[in-house]
Chains A and B, each alone.
Chain A
Amino acid sequence: SNDDIEKDEL
């Protein structure tokens, strides 16, 4: 959803 922040970092 839009609430979720993208976690593309390690």
Chain B
Amino acid sequence: MNIFRLAGDMTHLFSVLVLLLKIHTIKSCAGISLKTQELYALVFTTRYLDIFTDFISLYNTVMKLIFLGSSFSIVWYIRRHKIVRRSYDKDQDTFRHYFLVIPCLVLAVFINHKFTFKEVMWTFSLYLEAVAILPQLVLLQRTRNIDNLTGQYVFLLGAYRALYILNWIYRHFTEPHYVHWITWIAGVVQTLLYADFFYYYFQSWKNNEKLQLPA
């Protein structure tokens, strides 16, 4: 494991912790897209089908369990928690799941390394993760006042993707047999989706202003 990969995983972990902490302590999910969170729960479920069959390392298994557990807890909080659910703005979070899920599924069936259930599901999870942030980005654009924690959450998620790209570049040079072109393309697409957000995030940071995305 190289430093970029570890930093990427840690940023991913922090993003989830920031979000859980926000929801748990403030008892509010204002500005958070349930659609995106449900898509992440689906991403982790379909990606980690091998969690009990293929052992890679303790680190790997523990992280998988954390991502599965946290994504389902977040969805539970927004849908079921009697206080948190009141802060969910359903009318603003209108992105349709199937606009993303169906094309990703079709793509995974046709473009994969091997046509087996587990492999297609794994590939589907990569495609879906690449676009799962879209409902959240749309919601951010509609929200006039983005609170700091929500901004940091999205920033950390974007940073995680950027660090993974550095990790792949590093691995490409240090591990000659490391070729994962589906992962790379999906990962680059995913990172590009954050470009616009990053631009406004840094602008607001530089000018010491509140983050606001143009409509």
Is B114's CB under 8 angstroms from A3's CB?
Answer: yes
0/1 interface trace, chain A 1-10, chain B, CB 8 Å (1 if under): 0011101111
Interface of B, helix, strand, loop or mixed by DSSP? helix
Is A8's CB under 8 angstroms from B60's CB?
Answer: yes
Shortest CB-to-CB span from B46 to chain A, Å, is: 13
Interface of A, helix, strand, loop or mixed by DSSP? loop
In Å, the complex CA distance between A8 and B164 comes to 13
In Å, the complex CA distance between A6 and B72 comes to 26
In Å, the complex CA distance between A3 and B122 comes to 15
Residue B63, interface by CB 8 Å: yes
Is A9's CB under 8 angstroms from B183's CB?
Answer: yes
By CB atoms of chain B within 10 A, which of A3, A4, A7, A8 has the most? Answer: A7
Within 8 A of A (CB), among B111-165: 113-114, 122, 164
In Å, the complex CA distance between A4 and B56 comes to 14
Residue B85, interface by CB 8 Å: no
